[in-house]
Amino acid sequence: MAQLAFQTQKQYREKSETLFRGVGQEAKYLKRQFAKVYDHLTYPMSRQDDLHKFCNLAVTWKEETKFSSSIRDIALNPSYMEIIGMGGKVIPFILHDLTLNRAHWFPALRALTGFSPVIRVHWGNVKEMTKDWLNWGKENGYI
């Protein structure tokens, strides 16, 4: 059922993207809000498995913070906080996302693990910080 709902939502989003080409930012914003309501009504968060819930929250977080350069705003986003609230079971999902994207998962990983494997000379260098966390994930069986 989760696969079917996910495919249906994905197909809906792909179709809606073609319908909204060439329109202004306000229309795109309204489309995103409508898509969130549609997703919630067709597959509420309370019935989603952990991976599906993580993916939806991560997409929402990235969309809402894509123009923010403030680490504080990025890390205090409600979707980001909800991901942290899911607990250690999301560590593999976050590390997998780090292999694909350079999203700023570092505060979440630190909150979930209680420490940071990033060495001091890598602080502020997203590429090197990502490598440190991915190495840690491999060493600890998360990847």
Angle (CA) 32-92-102 rounded to 5° is 55
Residue 87 neighbours by CB under 8 Å, 6+ apart: 112
Dist. CA 52–CA 68, nearest whole Å? 25
- Higher pLDDT: 131 or 42? It is 131
Question: Looking at residues 20-24, what average pLDDT do you find?
Answer: 63
- Long-range contacts at 133-140 (CB < 8 A, ≥ 24 apart): 133/95, 133/98, 133/105, 133/106, 133/109, 134/95, 134/98, 134/99, 137/91, 137/92, 137/95
Read off the pLDDT of residues 49-105 as tens digits, 9 standing for 90 and up: 888 889 989 999 999 998 888 889 989 999 999 999 999 999 999 999 999 888 899
Three-state secondary-structure class, residue 55: helix
Q: Determine the pLDDT at residue 111.
A: 95
- φ and ψ of 133, to 5 deg: -70, -40
In the three-class reduction of DSSP (H, G, I as helix; E, B as strand; rest coil), residue 102 is classed as coil
**pLDDT above 80 for 120:** yes
C-beta of residue 105 within 8 angstroms of C-beta of residue 135: no
Whole-number pLDDT of residue 103: 87
Name the average pLDDT for the chain.
82
Give mean pLDDT, residues 32-42.
67
pTM score above 0.75? no
Confidence of residue 124 (pLDDT cuts 50, 70, 90): confident
pLDDT over 90, % of the chain: 47
pLDDT score, position 38? 67
